Structure 1
């Protein structure tokens, strides 16, 4: 009887430890997921800003080239 009780207590202790470990791992996973979401949002924002800057530059270059071609056509 004593051995059965000790085994049951040990089993319960191990179950409790496992449950605590699972909760800890879930919290760590949620924290990491939040960090990754924040990082992804920052990356997306940076990419969007880079894309917008590139679009502005390309529009400026296209306008300058169009003006150059217009001037060249008028000169000929």
Structure 2
């Protein structure tokens, strides 16, 4: 039981580090899904299409590395 807790705590710390890295790479879009994938309104505090593509790619990389959206294997 203690081994599981140790592993889980290590993974929690690792995910936190990954989320911070994602936030640094994505910027303001990190806190707003509509900003990340919504229509571009350049000049109105929104990210442009090139930045959006990079942000989405970075978010998908994060999801893959962190296993956030993986279904449990039987």
TM-score range with shorter-chain normalisation? 0.3 to 0.5
Comparing both chains, which one has the higher relative contact order based on Cα–Cα distances under 8 Å and sequence gaps of 6 or more?
A: 2
Q: TM-score, normalised by structure 1?
A: 0.36
Q: TM-score, normalised by structure 2?
A: 0.37
